[in-house]
Amino acid sequence: MMKTTRPQDATTTDWQDSAFDVVRGLSAYTGSFLIAGLVGVMARHPDADVGNAFNHKQVACKTWARDMLFESLGGEYGRIVVLGGWYGVLAGMLFDDSRFSIERIDSVDIDDSVAAVAKTLNARAGDRFQALTQDMYALDYAGLDADLVINTSCEHIANLRAWLSLLPPGTRVLLQSNDYFSEPTHINCVPSLEAFVAQAGLSQLDYSGSLPMKKYTRFMLIGTV
C-alpha cells in the first residue's frame, strides 16, 4: 500500500499563513469582489474574527437574504442601510452579485472596532460604501432617504414595533429573526414565522420564509413599513 507523506515543514507551517495563501488563491481564481476584500482584511486586520463572520451559517443566511431580496424587490437600489452591519459582509455580498445595481450601502454598527474592517472588506466599492459607528435608535431615518433598510438581528431588539415606528411610512425593509431562545443575548426571539409576521406588523409583505438551521430556524420578512 502506498503511503502518503506530509511535507517536512507541514508541522511548522503557521495555519493563518496557509489560510491566507488559500484565500489569495481563491481571489485570483474567482475574481470575486468579496474574496479580494477578505484578503485585505486578513492582511491588515489579523485579529478580526473572520472565521465567525464567514462561517457557513452566517453565509447561508446572508445568501438567502440576497436571493430572496432580488426575487421579491429586484436589483435596482439607490441607498441601502444595513443595521448591525458588523464587518460589512452582507454589503460585500450584494456588491459582489452582478444582478444588483446599487448606488450606495451604509453599514451601521454601534461597535466602533468593526468600521475599519468593514471598510477594508468593501474597499473596492470606494465611495459607494460607508461604515458608520452609530446607535440604530438615534439615526435620522427620514434624513437617510434609504431605498431599503436591512436588519438581520431583530432577536436583539426588545421592542421591534417601537423601532420600526422610527422609519418613515413606506420604507422598504428586510428583517430577520430566529427561535434560538437559549442564546442569552437574544432578548426577543419568536417561536414561529407567523409570530414574526405579527410582531413586525408590516403594511405590505412581499416575502416571508423560514430557513432551518442545526440549532434553530431563521425567519425572514421583506416588505414595507
When the pLDDT of each residue in the chain is averaged and rounded to a whole number, the result is 93
Grid cell for residue 147: 431605498
Bridge partners, residue 49, by sequence = none
Classify 131 as helix, strand or coil: strand
Identify whether residues 36 and 73 lie together within a single domain: no
pTM reported for the whole predicted model: 0.90
Identify whether residues 23 and 86 lie together within a single domain: no
Identify whether residues 36 and 129 lie together within a single domain: no
Identify whether residues 44 and 98 lie together within a single domain: no
Give the residue-averaged pLDDT of 50-63. Answer: 94
Between 23 and 88, residue with greater pLDDT: 88
Distance of alpha carbon 92 from alpha carbon 82, whole angstroms? 11
Identify whether residues 132 and 220 lie together within a single domain: yes
Amino acid at 76: E
Identify whether residues 23 and 72 lie together within a single domain: no
Q: In terms of residue numbers, what domain contains 188?
A: 52-224
CATH number at residue 160: 3.40.50.150
Identify whether residues 106 and 40 lie together within a single domain: no
Identify whether residues 40 and 148 lie together within a single domain: no
In a domain, 3, yes or no: no
Nearest to 155 by CA among 176, 139, 136: 176
Identify whether residues 42 and 60 lie together within a single domain: no
| CA angle 221–135–131, rounded 5-degree value | 80
Identify whether residues 142 and 65 lie together within a single domain: yes
Give the residue-averaged pLDDT of 58-87. Answer: 97
Please tell me the predicted confidence (pLDDT) of residue 18.
Answer: 87
Identify whether residues 164 and 203 lie together within a single domain: yes
Instruction: pLDDT band for 160, please (50, 70, 90 cuts).
Output: very high
Give the residue-averaged pLDDT of 99-120. Answer: 98
**Residue 6 pLDDT exceeds 80:** no
In a domain, 110, yes or no: yes
Torsion angle (degrees, nearest 10) of CA 150, 154, 159, 160: 40
Identify whether residues 70 and 165 lie together within a single domain: yes
Burial of 34 (0-12, 13-18, 19+ CB in 10 A): buried
Please tell me the predicted confidence (pLDDT) of residue 40.
Answer: 95
The number of folded domains in the chain is: 2
